[in-house]
């Protein structure tokens, strides 16, 4: 892990607002943002494209070994929706990996131990680049256990389902509320009960409950936590002099 930069790990269940906040903080502080869910989604996209059974660990493992995933930040990342682009073997899959079909299958693939092991190195390598904010399910517990700041996001089930439903409708997907609910709860169940690197709050993580807070309030709460960290004392964060 890099010694000079500040490393922030964010974990939490589905649709809890990790990505939105991580992108906002990264933009404010000029940090590198790494969305590890996008990596699992990208693999899932390729698995489905190649009609491989989502339970076939060996075939998926071969596919992962033969896949190049890259993440590129947009130059002008004012628009949070187009913050970065994800490429699988050179093909831009940024939009496609958010499709409900990926939601339905990703956790099945993400629970396979061989696949998780293969993806550890890629994630740690990405984290070596300096000031970073990485989000996922096992970042504080497994991928970056020495992160400077660990945050664990929570929000009520109802709030999370509402947020994801609205997000999908806004994107133009014809989804049913009950179907979104079922899929989110199912994904949480698989992610938190799997044997290897389950979704878990690291012992030293700070809990951020966003149920009754808007994005700005959560952002301020996180910036305050960062400002108290010794690596940041006396420095300027965004427009705030600490
Ligand atoms: O955006 P959302 O919260 O719906 O999910 P995501 O962060 O894009 O992650 C999609 C899925 O990838 C999760 O439901 C997990 O199954 C898996 N994942 C994981 O296992 N470990 C991570 N570090 C990140 C994601």
Q: What was the pLDDT predicted at 241?
A: 42
Question: How does pLDDT run across 18-43, given as a tens digit for each residue?
Answer: 999 999 999 988 889 999 999 999 99
pLDDT at position 53 over 80: yes
CA of 95 to the centre of ligand 1 (A): 16
Question: How does pLDDT run across 192-232, given as a tens digit for each residue?
Answer: 999 999 999 999 999 999 999 999 999 999 999 999 988 87
Q: In whole angstroms, what is the distance from residue 43 CA to residue 46 CA?
A: 5
Specify the ligand 1 atom closest to the Cα of 35: 7
Q: pTM here?
A: 0.93
Q: Contact at 8 Å (CB) between 173 and 57?
A: no
Q: What was the pLDDT predicted at 76?
A: 63
The distance in angstroms from the start CA to the end CA of the chain is 26
In terms of pLDDT, which residue wins out, 3 or 153? 153
CA of 126 to the centre of ligand 1 (A): 17
Best residue among 43, 136, 190 to mutate for probing ligand 1, ranked by most atoms within 8 Å of CB: 136
pLDDT at position 240 over 80: no
Residues with CB under 6 A from ligand 1: 14-15, 19, 36-37, 40-41, 106-107, 110, 136-139, 187, 191
**CA nearest ligand 1 atom 11, residue:** 37
Q: Which of 31, 22, 36 is nearest to 237 (CA)?
A: 31
Question: How does pLDDT run across 77-107, given as a tens digit for each residue?
Answer: 566 777 789 999 999 999 999 999 999 999 9
Q: In whole angstroms, what is the distance from residue 83 CA to residue 72 CA?
A: 9
CA of 11 to the centre of ligand 1 (A): 9
pLDDT at position 50 over 60: yes
Q: Which of 220, 214, 211 is nearest to 238 (CA)?
A: 220
**CA nearest ligand 1 atom 21, residue:** 137
CA of 56 to the centre of ligand 1 (A): 19
Helix/strand/coil (H/E/C) assignment for every residue in the chain: CCCCCCEEEEECCCCCCHHHHHHHHHHHHCCEEEEHHHHHHHHHHHHHHCCCCCCCHHHHHHHHHCCCEEEEECCCCCCHHHCEEEEECCEECCCHHHCHHHHHHHHHHHCCHHHHHHHHHHHHHHHHHCCEEEEECCHHHHHCCCCCEEEEEECCHHHHHHHHHHHHHHCCCCCCHHHHHHHHHHHHHHHHHCCCCCCCCCCCCEEEECCCCCHHHHHHHHHHHHHHCCCCCCCEECCEEC
* Residue 45 phi, psi dihedral angles, 5° rounding: -55, -45
Question: How does pLDDT run across 121-156, given as a tens digit for each residue?
Answer: 999 998 987 789 999 999 999 999 999 999 999 999
């Amino acid at each position: 892990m890099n010694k000079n930069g500040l490393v922030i790990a964010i974990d939490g269940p589905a649709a809890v607002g990790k990505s939105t906040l991580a992108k906002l903080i990264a933009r404010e502080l000029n940090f590198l943002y790494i969305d590890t869910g996008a990596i699992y989604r990208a693999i899932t996209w390729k698995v489905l494209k190649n009609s491989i059974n989502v339970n076939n660990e060996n075939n998926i493992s071969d596919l992962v070994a033969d896949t190049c995933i890259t993440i590129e930040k947009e130059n002008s990342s004012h628009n949070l929706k187009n913050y970065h682009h994800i490429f699988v073997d050179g093909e831009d899959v940024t939009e496609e990996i958010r499709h409900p079909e990926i939601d339905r299958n990703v956790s099945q693939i993400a629970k396979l131990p061989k696949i998780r092991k293969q993806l550890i190195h890629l994630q740690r390598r990405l984290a070596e680049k300096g000031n970073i904010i990485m989000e996922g399910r096992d970042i504080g517990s497994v991928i970056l256990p020495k992160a400077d700041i660990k945050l664990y996001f929570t929000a009520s089930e109802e709030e999370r389902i509402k947020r994801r439903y609205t997000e999908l409708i806004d994107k133009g997907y014809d989804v049913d509320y009950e179907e979104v609910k079922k899929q989110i709860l199912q994904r949480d169940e698989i992610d938190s009960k799997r044997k290897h690197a389950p979704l878990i709050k690291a012992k030293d993580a700070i809990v951020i409950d966003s149920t009754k807070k808007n994005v700005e309030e959560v952002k301020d709460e996180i910036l305050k936590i960062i400002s108290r960290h010794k690596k940041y004392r006396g420095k300027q964060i965004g427009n705030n002099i600490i």
